[in-house]
Amino acid sequence: MSFVNKISNALSKEPVFRFGGWQAMGAHTKAPDTRSTEQLLANIDYFAQRNPEVARFKEELKAMNPKHLGLVSDICELANKSEMLNTNINLKDPKQVGKNVFATWIEKLSKVSKENPEVLEFTQEVINQTDNTASKYFLATYNGILDHTEAAEHIKATKPLVKEIAQSALSGGYTMDYSKERNFINALDCFINPNSDVEKIKLMPELIKIADSIPSEGNVIIDTLPFIESKVPMKQIKENLEVFPQVAGDLLKQGKNINMTDFLMKNVNLD
């Protein structure tokens, strides 16, 4: 092999990362992952050379469904990345996060990819909608979800809401603690919960869209937890939803606040 070819081959094996350079803090949408399967497999080789956690499961990781390889690389990158912040999280440090969380994810990714792919797709959405600190906080606190296939429907229904939840919980400036990240996780817990009705979770994006579409001087209030945990039949909810824009429109134009979920559950008299 010529010297030029050797250099070219070495360059082709350089890792292709997503989180380098300056990054907005809090909630923000990352650019789509455009890396090829070949690049992602090369990334696994790169991390396996530097992380015994990856080396141990390298072949299983490389044999995973290709659509989850980007997540493997993202988790490896986050675990090997250190932010110059008071809130830097080391996913490998049992003293900080209770155990080697990175090893837990790496060990289970291949199996979960086959048996509970909704979890991995949800995790990818969290990483795509949050900064490194929030992403690491999620990985450190939500690793138990890897073993719960029964949560798949709740996870699938909640995925479209991750961006909205992140924007609500992580907005504002840097707090030098994990208070916003805890708020984010607590909000996710409201949805990914056996007490929550999956069908009502699925309806939430439509409620948000309708609330945002009504011209108003007032505010449309959505009490999420009472709504998704309510036992009100979906038939009644949908019937009330059909008339809500018309009933609430005039009052909102007058600057009054309307509790949308209260109306949907009780069909209260807004007059």
Tens of pLDDT, residue by residue over 64-104, are: 999 999 999 999 999 999 988 899 999 999 999 999 999 99
- 223's tokens: 């009490």
Per-position DSSP letters for 121-190, written without gaps between them: HHHHHHHHHB-HHHHHHHHHHSGGGGG-GGGHHHHHHHGGGHHHHHHHHS-SS--SSSHHHHHHHHHHHH
DSSP letter for each residue of 43-86: HHHHHHTT-HHHHHTHHHHHTS-GGGHHHHHHHHHHHT---SST
pLDDT for residue 51 is more than 70: yes
Write down the pLDDT at residue 268: 57
With the CA atoms of 139, 194, 154 and 69 taken in that order, what torsion angle do they form, in degrees rounded to the nearest 10? 30
The tokens describing 10, both together, are 């070495």
Distance CA 112, CA 102 (A): 15
pLDDT at 83: 87
pLDDT at 168 over 60: yes
State pTM to two decimals: 0.90
Position 216 confidence tier, pLDDT thresholds 50, 70, 90: confident
Kind plus residue range of the DSSP H or E element containing 220 = strand 220-221
Give the span between the Cα atoms of 7 and 3, in whole angstroms.
Answer: 6
Model confidence over 98-140: pLDDT tens digits? 999 999 999 999 999 999 999 999 999 999 999 999 999 999 9
Buried b (16+ CB within 10 A) or exposed e, 114-126: eebebbbbbbbbb
The number of angstroms, rounded, from the C-alpha of 112 to the middle of its chain's C-alpha atoms is: 17
| Token pair in block for residue 2 | 């010529």
